[in-house]
Amino acid sequence: MEFGIIGCCNFSFFHFFPMTFPQINSRQSFPALEQEILAYWKANNTFQKSLEIREGAPEFNFYDGPPFATGTPHYGHLLAGTIKDVIPRYQTMQGKFVERRFGWDCHGLPIENIVEKKMGISGKKDIEDKIGVFAFNEECRANVFQYTDVWRQTVERMGRWVDMDNDYKTMDTDFMESVWWVFKSIYDKGYVYESYRVVPYCPRCSTPLSNFEVNQGYEDKQDKAVTVKFKVKGNESKYILAWTTTPWTLPANLGLAVGKDLIYAEILDKSTSETYVLAKDRIATYYKNPEDYTLVREYPGSCLVGIEYEPMFDDAITLAEAGTLSDDMELGENAYKVVPGHHITTDSGTGVVHIAPAYGVDDAEIGQKEKLGFISHIDAIGHTTGLLSDNDVYVFDFNQIVIDRLKAEKKLIHIGTIDHPYPHCYRCHTPLIYRAISAWYVNVESLKDRMIANNQKVNWTPDNIKDGRFGKWLENARDWNISRNRYWGSAIPVWKSEDGDIIVIGSVKELYEANREFSQIYEENSTYFYADSKKPVDLHKHFVDNIKLFKDGKVYTRIPEVLDCWFESGSMPYASKHYPFEGTADFKFPADFIAEGLDQTRGWFYTLLILGTALFDNTPFLNVIVNGLILAEDGKKMSKSLKNYPDPMELIDKHGADALRFYMLSSPVVKADDLRFSEAGVEEVVKKVLLPLWNTYSFFTTYANIDSWTPSGAQITLIRHGQTDANLGKRISDAGETSPLNETGRKQVQDAGKKMKQEGKGFDIILVSPANRTQETAQIVAQELGYTGDIITVPELIERDAGECSGKTHAEIEAWYKEKTGKEMDGPHHYQVASEYGGGESKEIHQVRVRKAIDDIVAKYPGKRVLIVAHGGTFRAFNIHFFNLSIEEGFGTQSRIGNAEYYDFLAIPLSNRLDTWIISRLNRLTATVAGGVEAYDLQIPTRAITEFMDDLTNWYIRRSRRRFWKSENDGDKIEAYETLYHVLTTLTKVMAPITPMISEAVYRGLTGHESVHLERFPEFTRAHMFDSLEADMKKARDIIALGLALRGQKKIRVRQPLSSITIGEPLDAYFQEIIREELNVKEVKIEDMSHVARTICKPNAKLIGPRFGKAVQDVIVQAKSGNFQELADGRIQVGEYTLEAGEYEIAYEPLEGVSLDVMSGTGMVIAMDTTITEELELEGYARDLVRVIQDLRKEAGYEVSDRVRVALHGEKMEKILSLFSDYITSETLSVIDESLTEGDISREMDVEGIVVKVVVKR
């Protein structure tokens, strides 16, 4: 091979590989291993380093929603935290900078309720009268972080990397100032207003809740349901019947609503002689016996509208007449009349609804429209007030008082109970009431259309959430009540004058400026302080309530409410950065990714979208994973009192966090479905994923240490040149093409060089073909990498010569081909046409040329990292040689390489197809994992990893054991080491985001590198996924599975050899040998299986019986006779009967005269000769003896490399040894010594019916 040198300067990179690999404990405790890794990360500051090495790289923007620190983490938190860890870890390994700051939700009822219990008080009255707001809030501040240490321990123990030192807190002044800015910004845009309306209200907490908070707190509740009679005014015996589950609202009744188009009836009750009015469709509910009443007449509800009735209770009338009715109450001009209602149905009740405008959303709307007035008899703490009697009674206790009074006054028609989901306070679990109060709202309905449009920009996982649960919620979005009549929270920055004028403050500076008249705040070095305490300005209620503002001669005082804490969490993208007061230049919006539970479709996801749309008319997040609920194994909610689930930390201490992470990520819970948590599922992960990985690691290091094998550090990377005008014009670009890179091509190569540098690639030598385009590519890449070493020209790397077709466009070649042959070209085979008809270089000659170059490169640069700059044809030739492919496979369409694309090859070419297969499977795994994570579908990676572990351990390792066992260090053994080392180092990178701790342990043990999490995620290439090889291997494995199943059916052990298996798949000799070995058969025969077996159909009589009745037997007879036809849609035609998929089974049976046993499945059929001759039987015993000796070696504690002496005494031993002694000794590293009577270990046992004494001595 000739070399031309461009420049000369030594250039090399330092590699560290362990001289020997660690001694691996095969019984390693994974929890203990994880503790070691966690300690290493902490001591090495690995998380911080992973951020530092990505500084300046493209950012991946992640928002971490703030949890409350008022309780310990549960499985739901561990799940969400794991999802939030996987994506940032993966993106970091993809070369991006991912900031991960933890946050805390510090305000609101959760902490207030805890403090109330701690201080032995309950409700607003106790807070204000016994404790005082200032002391109460300071106690809240002191108790916010009581569980933060537990959170930190749990988060770290789960292996999650997140910055908990530089966390954000919703109670910090910087955060609260940004929240004020958000409030003022959307107020100034017209999206915030104050209104008096009916809202869901917690009487215990004395505060309203938003509609989405209400949705989080439904609980089952039993209520009294009463049917009462309202007397029609002016008629002594006619009554209108109404039904209600809230008797306590009856004193506030001001109207009765009917459906104008519903049909109502007047009936005469024969037992009371009274006439009742109710919906006709509801009569049967109250009168089971039609003889108990007489139908007087019927008419539409519109005929009832306007009828007056007498009040149920006369409290309001009496107070109004006395002039003592409260100022905020009134009797409207249409009070105590029947009015139309849009929401009236006949699904329940009487078809007549009693209207109390102060206590229902629909009631309030009807009351205002129909001018009914307003009566409020329940105060802020849920007690009765303003009645003639029975005041200061708790609202739900008042129900019984009302019922007793109805009974006493003979106004009660019926009483029953109803069990129904009822809204409760999601914090204190008190049943809610609906109550009219003044509150502040975000006008969500005016934003709704834009929110719906912005939601379409979001990639939801699962995708049905977008237009399903979340989309439907948006369609019905209502204005958001953002004010709370509480204490510990962000004070609403609104100040009012006595005449109702408003000042809204958006920053501390604005507060200072507006307060100048009173000098309660002063400024010093751009920091603001309270004048009385000399402390920095605090924006909590108990501080700012005292601040007065002055404008235009008027004094303004702050309104008493605080903000809904959901407003704060919805402001997190801005407030966590103190935007816009700091960091405006590098402010990133929207987030690339967020993740929370399904309940947040009514919570954080929703409030983020409201505020993001109001502020910037954009979605605040682009990708979101929505997880479901983790339930106990019995399907019930996890309950500490029931103890129906394993304690999270105890489970982690038992099985490890990696196992828990993998288990959760592999379940439907990452797609918003519920998971019935099972410890057995975690154990299964250990068994199928972690142990196989560890055992493979142990296997590899054991034999590598025995053979003193270490990785060479060699790496060959091939990059194709950038685009030229010839490429752009689809002109064949062969060895004689001289065009340079075009502008696009140069940019492609620059980007490739930059990417190589980001990946940490470095090269000891660059080899390049003589073409202008590759020479220019090599120079650009070297410049981007800072490479100053040799760039050596290798003529053999040049592209194929296209002969007469050189320089022709694809279209010209196609026309030229048609002219010569009279045929159209079948596919993009332009070089093939050039070689066959234009005197161009053939694939075979090209392959020989490039193979020689490869062999020379491998020999000349052992242990070096070599960059090859060449062509698409060169890449195909490399693939063929390095992966032992046929010419056809190597030149297949999947082996293409784009301009400036580059791929890595192992240090040496592979000759064993098993190695090529596992590399192909590894490439497919890497692509699948990357694709799943990029699509935010985390079930895909975990399932692929589990499948690959089976491929690796139960197939590749098992099939390769002898390659590692054998004593000679030949090429095949070296290939096995190189392959398995590459697989393990790549696999641990692939698994690192999901199982970070075991991946770290294995990777560091193999490489000695600082951390797998500081590496780049592996590249993958479609060109290194060999479809036909994988397909044939799958066929072979499926055939083996069928053969094993047939052995099991015939009760023939695998160690018992059989004479033959017959298959219909035309697999080559390599796969036939695998089948022969795995199934322990002497011969593999390939035949047309229709000559061996016939297809039979077995209908499922139980399934088809209901459809065919007596004809079932006819169906079975015709199917058995072969009178059936398989249809394309999965059904089957049996005579005149059609069976659906699942109603039948297709099987096979031997043809008459064929003495073979048949088994079918996975779309194929096999036949085996299960006749056992004497010689086959003796060979079976020999195999059993090998197993016995191996077990005794292990029991004796021998090393795998120890050679031993063995004596075998017993029946048939002479015959067995005469035929199979070589086999026994080679498999057990032994020699037969019949004189041996005593050894290190001996055992007399029954081996498949013969008694044998085995003696083993080292």
Q: Determine the pLDDT at residue 14.
A: 32
Last residue of a domain, one of 423, 442, 473: 423
Tally the domains of the chain: 8
CATH code, domain with 900:
3.40.50.1240
Q: Determine the pLDDT at residue 1018.
A: 94
CA distances (Å), 884 to each of 764, 854, 876, 905, 970, in order? 26, 13, 12, 13, 17
What are the residues facing 1061 on neighbouring strands? 1084, 1168
Is 468 a member of any domain?
Answer: no
What's the pLDDT tens digit per position in 549-558? 999 999 999 9
Co-location of 245 and 327 in the same domain? yes
> What is the arithmetic mean of pLDDT over 413-426?
90
Co-location of 131 and 235 in the same domain? no
What's the pLDDT tens digit per position in 509-527? 999 999 999 999 999 998 9
Co-location of 1154 and 1188 in the same domain? no
Q: Determine the pLDDT at residue 1.
A: 34
Structural domain of residue 830, as residue ranges? 804-840
Q: Determine the pLDDT at residue 899.
A: 95
Cα 91 from Cα 97, distance rounded (Å): 8
Is 449 a member of any domain?
Answer: no
CB 1230 within 8 A of CB 1206: yes
Q: CB burial class (10 A; 0-12, 13-18, 19+) of residue 408?
A: exposed
Co-location of 1099 and 1046 in the same domain? yes
Cα 290 from Cα 269, distance rounded (Å): 10
Greater confidence (1236 vs 718) lies with 718
Least confident of 579-593, 608-622, 869-883, 1234-1248: 1234-1248
At 120, the amino acid letter reads G
CB 1127 within 8 A of CB 1133: yes
What's the pLDDT tens digit per position in 476-486? 999 999 999 99
What's the pLDDT tens digit per position in 26-55? 899 999 999 999 999 999 999 999 999 999
Co-location of 1163 and 1245 in the same domain? no
Is 324 a member of any domain?
Answer: yes
Co-location of 265 and 341 in the same domain? yes
Last residue of a domain, one of 1122, 1151, 1169: 1169
What's the pLDDT tens digit per position in 1112-1141? 999 998 888 888 888 888 899 999 999 998
Q: CB burial class (10 A; 0-12, 13-18, 19+) of residue 665?
A: buried
Co-location of 848 and 891 in the same domain? yes
Co-location of 866 and 725 in the same domain? yes
Co-location of 867 and 814 in the same domain? no
**Is the pLDDT assigned to residue 968 strictly greater than 90?**
no
Cα 1172 from Cα 1056, distance rounded (Å): 8
What are the residues facing 1124 on neighbouring strands? 1134
Is 574 a member of any domain?
Answer: no
Find the angle CA(1060)-CA(1062)-CA(1064) to the nearest 5 degrees.
Answer: 160
What's the pLDDT tens digit per position in 885-895? 888 888 776 67
What's the pLDDT tens digit per position in 1156-1178? 999 988 888 999 999 999 999 99
Q: Determine the pLDDT at residue 320.
A: 79
Alpha helices in 64-201 (DSSP H): 75-93, 109-119, 123-126, 133-143, 148-157, 173-188
Residue 1034 has which token pair? 């799958």
> What is the arithmetic mean of pLDDT over 705-709?
92
Last residue of a domain, one of 1143, 1169, 1195: 1169
Q: Percent of the chain, pLDDT > 90?
A: 72
**Is the pLDDT assigned to residue 313 strictly greater than 60?**
yes
Q: Percent of the chain, pLDDT > 70?
A: 98
Co-location of 277 and 303 in the same domain? yes
Q: Determine the pLDDT at residue 396.
A: 93
Residue 676 has which token pair? 């019935």
Q: Determine the pLDDT at residue 19.
A: 52
User: Which range in 213-227, 309-323, 353-367 is most confidently predicted, on average pLDDT?
Assistant: 353-367
DSSP state of 290: G
What's the pLDDT tens digit per position in 114-172? 999 999 998 888 999 999 999 999 999 999 998 999 999 999 999 999 999 999 999 99
> What is the arithmetic mean of pLDDT over 375-398?
89
**Is the pLDDT assigned to residue 11 strictly greater than 60?**
no
Q: Determine the pLDDT at residue 16.
A: 43
CA distances (Å), 860 to each of 1, 12, 907, in order? 11, 15, 12
The SS3 of residue 450 is helix
Overall residue count recorded for the chain in this entry: 1258
Mean pLDDT of the chain: 92
What are the residues facing 557 on neighbouring strands? 496
Greater confidence (822 vs 761) lies with 761
Is 428 a member of any domain?
Answer: no
CB 279 within 8 A of CB 264: yes
Q: Cα–chain-centroid distance for residue 34?
A: 23
CATH code, domain with 918:
1.10.730.10
**Is the pLDDT assigned to residue 858 strictly greater than 80?**
yes
Is 474 a member of any domain?
Answer: no
Is 1117 a member of any domain?
Answer: yes
Co-location of 604 and 638 in the same domain? yes
Cα 375 from Cα 342, distance rounded (Å): 22
> What is the arithmetic mean of pLDDT over 287-306?
95
Comparing CA positions, the residue from 911, 874, 1160, 913 lying closest to residue 1028 is 913
Using the structure block, give the residue that is written with the tokens 């979340």: 470
Co-location of 1065 and 1143 in the same domain? yes
CB 995 within 8 A of CB 963: no
> What is the arithmetic mean of pLDDT over 839-864?
91
CATH code, domain with 284:
3.90.740.10
What's the pLDDT tens digit per position in 935-948? 999 999 999 999 99
Q: Determine the pLDDT at residue 732.
A: 85
Is 371 a member of any domain?
Answer: yes
Residues 6+ apart with CB under 8 A from 207: 109, 201, 484, 485, 486
> What is the arithmetic mean of pLDDT over 702-724?
92
